[in-house]
Amino acid sequence: MAMKYLGISDNILKSSGAINTAREIEQQPQLWLKIFKNLSAEKNDLMIFMDHVCQDIDKIVLTGAGTSAYIGLSLVGTFFRSFGIITNAIASTDIVTHPSDYLRQDERILLISFARSGESPESLAVIRLADKHSANCYHLIITCDSNGELYNNITGKQKYCILLPSESNDKSLAMTSSYSGMLLTGLLISRIREIEKYQKQVENLVRYGERILYQYLDKFREVAEMNFERAIFLGSGPLFGTATESHLKLQELTDGKVICVNDTYLGFRHGPLAAINSSAIIIYLLSNNRNVSDYEKDLMKSVHDLRSGTFSIAIMESSPEGGNVPADLSVTFSDSDDINVDEDFLTVCSILPAQIIGFFKSRNFGLSPDSPSQRGAIHRIVQGVKIYNT
């Protein structure tokens, strides 16, 4: 009997260049469970490293390139709250061109690098720059490829490497399993001292992910069949990182045929709201923090009142108090009104809708999701980057 991924037989997926992306999207919930078990087994070693480092640093820097950089956007608040140390999310692509804007010779830092392959020129260069331009640099490397240079050889400074399960090392161009896996790893590292207390939350994430994949799959397929040319993703706080990654995922899987925008709910009013029209869809990534929800609801009402013809999707843990939200499609992770995961944990499962819509939209355009770039403009490992003066 043929296997199916995202509701499509593996024979069809293989023949259309979609098997890897489909498998890598669908496997994510079980990958999250495996990551939790692996990190739980590493708890003592990780605690020793983090306790030592945090006594000797002035700043934490979360870095990566592209999708890997967006992980830091979701984690910056988490690390600041957990460790009480100033934390910045800075793309390696920014550090490489302007190292003195972010690194100081009198500062001691922990550089946390996220990378799927560990082979992109910027990911490697930023290690050398941080070693050179800071008083002392500790390294925490989170990667998916045991053969990557980042994992094996890059620095003589004190480092701790976390290698994710091999299936997280996506074969497809688009980062899916690698993104959510490294993001969850960061969330759990910030809670490493009490990681066992978060088993239930991870199990809830698995349940949420499976609900998205199986209960809402046909809905997202229908969305992908709509005639839209642009997509807008909104999220605040940790979900801003998810909105940013969502915008990239749909755009790269459609080879730029769908142009995407991302912003926060408050930021969207300051000009980007002009992107709203009848050829757009808007995806609201909603917080379960009630202090945030009021701002989200206000913006959603404003968009609804424009009567622009924009199709809207609300992604949320559960339906809000007082009934429905002003959206054409409401996606809930849970039927319960209870808050079952921390706000920042929602970032892990909230990426799935954009991945799924992007996958189906790519196929609708006649593209191969595993390698959607018809002109070779983008690649699994970035090409054409020269590093100067590191």
What tokens appear for 14 in the block? 């293989």
Cα–Cα distances in angstroms (integers) from residue 135 to residues 58, 109, 125, 214, in the given order:
10, 8, 17, 50
Candidates 99, 116, 169; CA nearest to 382 is 116
CB atoms within 10 A of CB 105: 9
| CATH 3.40.50.10490 at 12-194, yes or no | yes
Question: Given the DSSP bridges, would you call strands 108-115 and 159-163 parallel, antiparallel or unpaired?
Answer: unpaired
> Which neighbouring-strand residues pair with 230?
259, 280
In angstroms, the CA 94 to CA 86 distance is: 19
Q: Express the helix, strand and coil content of the chain in percent, nearest 5 each.
A: 50, 15, 35
149-170 residue pLDDT tens? 899 876 778 899 999 999 999 9
**Token pair of 168, please?**
């997280």
Q: 21 and 174 in contact (C-beta within 8 Å)?
A: yes
Please give the pLDDT value at position 182: 99
Kindly state the average pLDDT of the residues 353-369: 98
pTM for this model (two decimals): 0.96
Neighbour order of strands in the sheet with 87-89: 87-89, 59-63, 108-115, 136-143, 159-163
Q: At which residue do the structure tokens 């969207």 appear?
A: 268
**Mean per-residue pLDDT of the chain:** 94
> Where exactly are the structural domains of the chain?
12-194, 216-364
Q: Which residue has the higher pLDDT, 11 or 336?
A: 11
Residues of the chain above pLDDT 70, percent: 96
**Is residue 382 scored above 70 in pLDDT?**
no
Is the pLDDT reported for residue 383 higher than 80?
no
With contact defined as beta carbons under 8 Å apart, do 281 and 258 qualify? no
5 forms beta bridges with: 8
Q: What is residue 381's predicted lDDT score, i.e. its pLDDT?
A: 65
| Ramachandran region, residue 2 (left: φ > 0; alpha: ψ -120 to 50; beta: rest) | beta
Check residue 1 and give its pLDDT: 66
Q: How far, CA to CA in Å, does 297 sit from each of 95, 102, 303, 304, 351?
A: 36, 36, 10, 10, 21
Give the integer Cα–Cα distance in Å for 44 and 42: 6
Dist. CA 160–CA 142, nearest whole Å: 9
What pLDDT is stored for residue 380 in this prediction?
65
CATH number of 216-364: 3.40.50.10490
What single string gives the DSSP state of each residue in 161-189? EEEPPGGGS-SSSS-SHHHHHHHHHHHHH
Q: Residue 319 gets which letter from DSSP?
A: P
Q: Tokens at residue 79, please?
A: 């690390």
Structure tokens at 265: 């709910």
Tens digits of per-residue pLDDT, 185-203? 999 999 999 999 999 999 9
DSSP H helices, the chain, are 10-15, 19-26, 28-41, 43-54, 67-83, 92-97, 121-133, 149-152, 177-189, 199-215, 217-224, 238-253, 290-306, 346-349, 352-364
Q: How confident is the model at residue 98 (pLDDT cuts 50, 70, 90)?
A: very high
For the chain, percent of residues with pLDDT exceeding 90? 86
pLDDT at 59 over 90: yes
